[in-house]
């Protein structure tokens, strides 16, 4: 297996000689694989590889040129990886057997341009998972990268050696993480990925003329040689900058604050190319079924304010299949309870799927229920106030990516929705289900004596099953618009039903009792507006005990219990 560290160099060979020796190694490996492919030398692989190893280094010693200590170590690692690929030693065979087991844990890697904030984001995400970073970009141990920084006039000369160091180090780290994930259930997070080295950096260096055509071809031959043993992460988090100008600001700022990065002087145009490569690779990897979560960030902002919104954490857990331990009950359980209830009742019903905080899977319930009953039997609506992402104007979109085609109510008034249903002659026999997402954000409903309860009752009396979801409390801990009125109806009418969902606090294991608003990096004040159009703030579920939802609540403030919690 590959050595984890490379010793410091005492000398370097010429750029040309290193490239020559790399090509020789690759040719030797390819020739061995061609011989072994015939299946006649399985018992002699160790001896044949040993002989090639001896020949390679003995010839180097006889040549007028030489390999420096760090370069020798690089080739030792190269031979070790080739040995692992072909399961030559007992250790190689043991690790390969472990890799046949299913993963118990999860692995997360990162892809993105230089200084976009990968390490910062990885550290923040690791905090939420309660783990340390499994690996970080090994630039500090890379003697060739160090030489690039010290000899900026010869930056390109060391590029091939530097990138091969990153390639082998990250491949070794990814293999170790893959093995660990099959032994225990820990989530392993790295601020890089072998896919970053293989697919992004070298392509960028080649396009910006820091790699010669010959070096690029040699590097890609090496990549193709080891691609069969490259582990795919369970999730690849892709970060890209919102603009090349901001990315350059981030690069320059990091260089000014870190003397080790003196050689990282790039133009805005060069960084723009890196952003373009990142976008293209994202699409290519998706086509290869690599699970991806893409984020657009402002690099200077993420450097100054290293905060990752809970929505990102939610999406990561969902993509890794780890939401089950947080959502109580699971959305699919609620879906089956609703279906059973409707099968046992007659006439129109109102069903309220509610929660004390955000991020509980309420909208997912609507989406899963739509799949079960058939989208052709549903008419879905949402208030304009609920829009939080592109494409949502025509669909209810849950945070797990599932969606239902929906009509947007521009004035966020339930009565406008009722009038639209009547005007379009939507029939409860043909379309028995009315779905309403984020009902608490129909903020213009209760005026001129018309109530939300009456609007829903009118639809129920027309024979519809009205399925709604909403949040019980605002970030202040106050009842959210008319949600308490809806829950009171559940206590008073047999045709009204409620299903409560919950998650746990972002910072502890207690149930979340509310939602914290983060505004400009700070916990929002109680006296802020209840709702701000556009959802520009960040929100996260909190216990409302050690971790409050807002600051400066009135003295003696006490949250009102839900009507469904009050025993009559």
Are 348 and 475 in a shared domain?
yes
| CATH number of the domain to which 547 belongs | 3.40.50.300
Are 274 and 355 in a shared domain?
no
Looking at residue 554, the DSSP 8-state letter turns out to be: P
Name the domain boundary from 308, 323, 342: 308
Of 518, 517, 512, residue with least CA distance to 546: 512
Looking at residue 553, the DSSP 8-state letter turns out to be: P
Residue 5 is predicted with a pLDDT of 41
Of 166, 178, 141, residue with least CA distance to 223: 166
- What whole-number distance in Å separates Cα of residue 247 and Cα of residue 227? 30
Q: Mark out the alpha helices in 425-531 (DSSP H runs).
A: 452-461, 483-492
β-pairing, 378-383 vs 395-397, is unpaired
**Does residue 11 sit within a domain?**
no
Quote the number of domains for the chain.
2
3-state SS assignment for residue 142:
coil
Residue 65 is predicted with a pLDDT of 67
CB 490 within 8 A of CB 496: yes
Are 368 and 510 in a shared domain?
yes
> 194: domain range?
103-308
**Does residue 31 sit within a domain?**
no
Are 169 and 277 in a shared domain?
yes
CB 188 within 8 A of CB 104: no
Name the domain boundary from 259, 274, 308: 308
**Does residue 91 sit within a domain?**
no
Are 508 and 556 in a shared domain?
yes
**Does residue 49 sit within a domain?**
no
Q: Which DSSP string do the residues of 127-139 spell out, in sequence order?
A: HHHT---SB--GG
Residue 390 is predicted with a pLDDT of 67
Are 256 and 344 in a shared domain?
no
CB 298 within 8 A of CB 242: yes
Are 215 and 300 in a shared domain?
yes
238 strand-pairing partners: 111, 294
**Does residue 543 sit within a domain?**
yes
Of 179, 186, 178, residue with least CA distance to 105: 186
**How many CA atoms within 13 Å lie on the side-chain side of 435?**
29
Unique residue bearing structure tokens 């309870």: 337
Are 287 and 347 in a shared domain?
no
- What whole-number distance in Å separates Cα of residue 223 and Cα of residue 228? 9
Residue 167 is predicted with a pLDDT of 92
| Gyration radius of the chain's alpha carbons | 29
CA distances for 42 relative to 78, 83, 86, 242, 484, angstroms: 21, 13, 10, 53, 73
- What whole-number distance in Å separates Cα of residue 37 and Cα of residue 40? 8
**Does residue 387 sit within a domain?**
yes
CB 459 within 8 A of CB 435: no
Crossing angle of helices 118-129 and 310-319, in 10° steps, is 70
Are 516 and 400 in a shared domain?
yes
**Does residue 322 sit within a domain?**
no
Are 413 and 277 in a shared domain?
no
- What whole-number distance in Å separates Cα of residue 496 and Cα of residue 487? 9
Q: Which DSSP string do the residues of 379-430 spell out, in sequence order?
A: EEEEEGGG--STTGGGEEE-TTS-EEE-EEETT--HHHHHHHHHHTT--TTT
Are 291 and 205 in a shared domain?
yes
pLDDT in 10s for each residue of the chain, 568 residues: 444 444 444 478 999 999 999 999 999 999 999 999 877 666 789 999 999 999 998 876 655 667 889 999 999 999 999 999 999 988 999 998 999 999 999 999 999 999 999 999 999 999 999 898 887 667 778 999 888 887 767 788 999 999 999 999 989 989 999 999 999 988 999 998 888 878 888 899 899 888 899 999 999 999 999 999 999 999 999 999 999 999 999 999 988 888 778 777 889 999 999 999 999 999 999 998 999 999 899 999 888 888 888 888 998 998 898 887 899 999 999 999 999 999 999 999 999 999 999 999 999 999 999 999 999 999 999 999 888 766 678 888 888 778 999 999 999 999 999 999 999 999 999 999 999 999 999 999 998 889 999 999 999 999 999 999 999 999 999 999 999 999 999 999 999 999 999 999 999 989 999 999 998 788 999 999 887 654 456 899 999 999 999 999 999 999 999 998 876 5
Are 286 and 338 in a shared domain?
no
**Does residue 48 sit within a domain?**
no
């Amino acid at each position: 297996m590959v050595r984890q560290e490379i010793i410091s160099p005492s000398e370097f060979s010429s750029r040309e000689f290193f490239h020559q020796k790399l090509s020789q190694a690759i040719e030797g490996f390819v020739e061995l694989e061609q011989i072994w492919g015939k299946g006649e030398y399985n018992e002699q692989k160790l001896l044949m590889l040993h002989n090639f190893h001896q020949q390679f280094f003995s010839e180097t010693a006889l040549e007028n040129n030489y390999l420096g200590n760090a370069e020798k170590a690089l080739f030792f690692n190269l031979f070790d990886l080739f040995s692992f690929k072909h399961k030559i030693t007992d250790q190689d065979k043991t690790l390969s057997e472990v890799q046949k087991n299913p993963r118990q844990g999860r692995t997360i890697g990162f892809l993105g341009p230089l200084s976009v904030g990968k390490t910062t984001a990885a550290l923040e995400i690791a905090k939420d998972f309660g783990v340390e970073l499994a690996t970080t970009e090994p630039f500090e141990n890379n003697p060739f990268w160090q030489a690039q920084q010290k000899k900026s006039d010869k930056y390109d000369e060391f590029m091939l050696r530097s990138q091969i160091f990153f390639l082998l180090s990250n491949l070794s780290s990814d293999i170790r993480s893959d093995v660990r994930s099959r032994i225990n259930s820990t989530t392993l997070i790295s601020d890089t990925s072998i896919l970053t080295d293989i697919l992004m950096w070298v392509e960028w260096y080649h396009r910006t003329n820091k790699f010669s055509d010959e070096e690029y071809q040699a590097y890609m031959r090496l990549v193709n040689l080891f691609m069969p043993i490259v582990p795919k992460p369970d999730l690849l988090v892709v970060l890209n900058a919102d603009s090349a100008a901001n990315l350059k600001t981030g690069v320059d700022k990091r260089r000014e604050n870190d003397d080790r990065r003196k050689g990282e002087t790039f133009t805005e145009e060069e960084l723009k190319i890196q952003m373009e490569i990142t976008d293209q690779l994202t699409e290519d990897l998706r086509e290869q079924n690599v699970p991806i979560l893409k984020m657009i960030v402002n690099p200077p902002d993420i450097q100054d304010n290293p905060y990752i919104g809970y929505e990102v954490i939610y999406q990561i857990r969902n993509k890794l299949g780890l939401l089950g331990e947080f959502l109580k009950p699971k959305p699919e359980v609620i879906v089956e309870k609703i279906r059973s209830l409707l099968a046992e009742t007659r006439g129109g019903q109102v069903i309220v799927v509610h929660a004390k905080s955000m991020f509980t899977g309420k909208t997912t319930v609507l989406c899963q229920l739509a799949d079960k009953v058939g989208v052709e039997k549903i008419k879905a609506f949402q208030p304009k106030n609920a829009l939080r992402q592109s494409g949502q104007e025509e669909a209810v979109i849950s945070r797990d990516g599932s969606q239902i085609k929906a009509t947007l109510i521009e004035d966020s008034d339930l009565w406008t929705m009722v009038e639209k249903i009547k005007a379009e002659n939507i029939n409860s026999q043909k379309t028995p289900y009315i779905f309403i997402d984020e009902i608490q954000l129909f903020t213009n409903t209760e005026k001129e004596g018309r109530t939300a309860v009456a609007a829903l009752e009118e639809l129920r009396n027309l024979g519809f099953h009205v399925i709604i979801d909403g949040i019980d409390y605002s970030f202040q801990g106050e009842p959210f618009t008319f949600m308490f009125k809806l829950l009171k109806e559940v206590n008073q009418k047999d045709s009204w039903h409620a299903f409560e969902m919950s998650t746990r606090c972002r910072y502890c294991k207690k149930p979340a009792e509310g939602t914290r608003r983060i505004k400009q990096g700070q916990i929002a004040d109680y006296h802020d507006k209840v709702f701000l159009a556009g959802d520009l703030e960040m929100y996260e579920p909190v216990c409302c005990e050690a971790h409050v939802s807002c600051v400066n609540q009135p003295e003696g403030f006490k949250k009102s219990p839900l009507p469904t919690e009050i025993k009559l």
